[in-house]
Structure 1
Amino acid sequence: MAEELEAREKWVWIYKSGLHGLCPRCGQGRMFKRWLKVTDQCPTCGLNYDFATPDDGPAFFSLCFIAFPLLFLVVWFEVAFSPPWWMHALVSVPLMIIPCVLALHPIKGWLVASQYVNKAQEAGTDALWAKLNARAKEE
């Protein structure tokens, strides 16, 4: 039961800090310096964000959970009304693009917070990451 509570508390913390773009360590400082650009370190607690590598994760989740279901709505629109191409340009294109783009920020925050809380990284890459981060700081 204690493990279950701990897992739930972790999930709530990841959700709160990640989706709101707050530091996953202190929950106070901002995680992003620009819309999708993760800051170098937390202005409140000093957490270094070198660990943050969500890569293509936000785009993948946005496409899978937002674009794919909306595609069914666009297909229904075509089958039900047979609109001209310009109507799809006015309705379908913004319907597909805007929600996908708006979701990128909270999804990226969620992934970065998940990486921090779960201490996630690829197996066997400790030495490689240390070397890459040291080289990047020298430049």
Structure 2
Amino acid sequence: MRRMDKPQDYHPDFESWPPAGTHAKPEWAADSWPVTIGRGIMGRCPSCGAAPIFDGYLKVHERCLNCAAPLGDMPSDDAPPYIAMLVVLHVLALFVVFFYKGYYHPGILMAGVLLAMLALICMAALRMAKGAVIGIMLKLGMKREDPNG
């Protein structure tokens, strides 16, 4: 490393680079993108894959129960519903096109069943999207800002 790349407070007596007190890459964000996102989609900790992300349907554990990754600090509030709707509604659009083109005309009972299935699919997709967003945020190191400090 060139001398000009080091901060001004660098001293050659430091045992390792970067010196203590600086922001080093956390150990829980070391996996590849597909592994991290895949673990999030499956509802497991994006860092270790051993513990669940969720404590209930969408409530996130503050810390991973296995590796202590800060899962609750990830700002995953607004993006998951948009991602879930984008994916589900693009798949559902095929069925809507068939309904309006006249290939299939469901009765009132079948329309109710399809509506219930849509709600269940959206709920499952929302949970998977929230897990994926938490994985992305953890990989990027983006944390929710502390309102007290």
Q: What percentage of aligned pairs have identical amino acids?
A: 23
Separation in 1 of the partners of 2:105 and 2:138?
48
* Alignment partner of 1:57 is 2:79: yes
Matching of residues 28-47 of structure 1 within 5 Å? 28-47=50-69
Matching residue of 1:81: 104
Give, as a single letter, the amino acid of the residue that structure 1 aligns with 2:73: F
Against the structure 1 CA distance between its residues 40 and 85, is the aligned structure 2 distance closer, same or farther, given a 3 Å change threshold? same
- TM-score normalised over the length of structure 2: 0.66
Matching of residues 1-139 of structure 1 within 5 Å? 10-78=32-100, 79-90=102-113, 92-120=114-142, 129-130=145-146, 132=147, 134=148
- How many residues get paired? 118
Separation in 1 of the partners of 2:72 and 2:84?
24
Separation in 1 of the partners of 2:92 and 2:112?
15
1:81 Cα offset (Å): 3.0
Question: What stretches of structure 1 of length at least 5 have no aligned partner?
Answer: 1-8
Separation in 1 of the partners of 2:51 and 2:105?
50
Q: Contact 1:70–1:95 at 8 Å: present in 2 too?
A: no
Question: What stretches of structure 2 of length at least 5 have no aligned partner?
Answer: 1-30
Point out the more displaced range, 38-47 or 16-25.
16-25
Against the structure 1 CA distance between its residues 87 and 21, is the aligned structure 2 distance closer, same or farther, given a 3 Å change threshold? closer
Deviations 1:52-105 (A, max 9, x none): 111122211111111233133033134223344443223x31342222111111
Against the structure 1 CA distance between its residues 75 and 95, is the aligned structure 2 distance closer, same or farther, given a 3 Å change threshold? farther
Larger radius of gyration: 2
Matching residue of 1:5: none
Give, as a single letter, the amino acid of the residue that structure 2 aligns with 1:80: Y
Deviations 1:19-60 (A, max 9, x none): 122222332222111121101111112222342111122211
Aligned to 2:80, the other structure's residue is in SS state: helix
Separation in 2 of the partners of 1:81 and 1:46?
51
The structure 1 segments of at least 4 consecutive aligned residues displaced by more than 6 Å after TM superposition are: none
